[in-house]
Amino acid sequence: MSDRIISGSKALSEALHEEMERDESVFLIGEDITAHGGNFGQFGGLFERFGERVIDTPISETAIAGAGVGAALTGMRPVVDLYFADFLPVAMDEIVNQTAKTRYMSGGQAKLPLVIWVNDGGGVGAGAHHSQSLESWFVHTPGLKIVIPSEPSDVKGLMKAAIRDDDPVMFFQHKRLFAQTGPVPEKEYVIPLGRGEVKREGKDITILTYSRMTYVALEAAEGLAEEGVDAEIIDLRSLKPLDFELIAESVKKTNHVLVAHEACLTGGFGAEVAARIGEELFDYLDAPVSRIGAKDTPIPVSPVLEKFVLPQVDDIVTGAKRVLNL
Mean pLDDT for all residues in the chain: 95
Q: Return the closest-CA partner of residue 137 out of 208, 89, 104.
A: 89
pLDDT at 2: 55
Structure confidence at residue 153 (pLDDT):
96
* pLDDT for res 35: 78
Per-residue pLDDT, averaged over 301-325, amounts to: 96
Residue 105, C-beta contacts closer than 8 angstroms, at least 6 positions apart: none
In angstroms, what is the C-alpha Rg of the chain?
Answer: 19
| Mean pLDDT (whole number) for 279-305 | 97
Res 98: pLDDT: 95
| Helix orientation angle between 313-323 and 213-225, rounded to the nearest 10 degrees | 60
Q: Which pLDDT score is estimated for 158?
A: 98
Per-residue model confidence as pLDDT tens digits over 68-89: 999 999 999 999 999 899 999 9
What's the average model confidence in pLDDT over 262-287?
A: 97
Residue of higher predicted confidence among 261 and 42: 261
Give the residue numbers annotated as catalytic, written as ranges. 130
- Can you say whether residue 45 is alpha, beta or left, with left for phi > 0 and alpha for psi between -120 and 50 degrees? left
Question: Does residue 241 have a cis peptide bond before it, meaning omega lies within 30 degrees of 0?
Answer: yes
pLDDT band at 263 (very low <50, low <70, confident <90, very high): very high
Residue 116 is classified by DSSP as E
Alpha-carbon span 247 to 16, nearest angstrom: 31
Cα(27)–Cα(78) distance, rounded to whole angstroms? 5
Cα of 290 vs its chain's centroid, Å: 21
Q: What is the pTM of this model?
A: 0.95
pLDDT confidence tier of residue 239, bands split at 50, 70 and 90? very high
**Is the pLDDT higher at 37 or at 250?**
250
In the 8-state DSSP scheme, what is residue 299? P
Q: How do residues 182-225 score in pLDDT, each as one tens digit?
A: 999 989 999 999 999 999 999 999 999 999 999 999 999 999 99
Q: Residue 1 pLDDT more than 60?
A: no
pLDDT per residue as tens digits for the range 105-124 = 999 999 999 999 999 999 99
Residue ranges of domains in the chain, CATH in brackets: 5-183 (3.40.50.970), 197-323 (3.40.50.920)
